[in-house]
Amino acid sequence: MDEKDLLSRIHSLVDEEHRLRDSAEHTAETRTRMDDLEAQLDQCWDLLRQRRARRQYDEDPDAAEVRPKSEVEGYLQ
DSSP one-letter code for 63: G
Residues 64, 44: Cα–Cα separation, whole Å: 11
Give pLDDT tens digits for 54-70: 999 999 999 999 999 98
Q: Is residue 76 pLDDT above 70, yes or no? A: no
Residue 74 has pLDDT above 80, yes or no: no
What pLDDT band is residue 6 in, cutting at 50, 70 and 90? very high
Of all helices (H) and strands (E), which one includes residue 67?
none
The reported pLDDT for the residue numbered 77 is 61
Each residue's pLDDT tens digit, 11-66: 999 999 999 999 888 899 999 999 999 999 999 999 999 999 999 999 999 999 99
